[in-house]
Amino acid sequence: MTRSKIALMFVALLAFASPALASMSGTDWLNRVELLRGKEPGAEAPWIKAKVETIDPQSGEVTIKHDAIPKIDMPAMSMTFPIADRVHLTKMKAGDTMEFQAANQDGVVRIVNVRMNH
Residue 73 lies in a domain: yes
Structurally, the chain folds into a number of domains equal to 1
Residue 112 lies in a domain: yes
Check which CATH number belongs to the domain holding 30 and give it: 2.40.50.320
pTM (global) more than 0.85 = no
CB 83 within 8 A of CB 110: yes
**pLDDT for res 23:** 65
Q: What is the pLDDT of residues 93-108, one digit of tens each?
A: 999 999 998 888 888 8
For CA atoms 65, 22, 38, 61, the dihedral sign is positive
Residue 10 lies in a domain: no
CB 43 within 8 A of CB 37: yes
Q: What is the pLDDT of residues 51-79, one digit of tens each?
A: 999 999 999 999 999 888 777 788 889 99
Q: What angle do CA 20, 39, 17 make, to 5 degrees?
A: 10
| Domain interval for residue 88 | 25-116
pLDDT > 50? residue 84:
yes
pLDDT > 90? residue 32:
no
Residue 75 lies in a domain: yes
Question: Which residues are 105's β-sheet partners?
Answer: 108
Residue 40 lies in a domain: yes
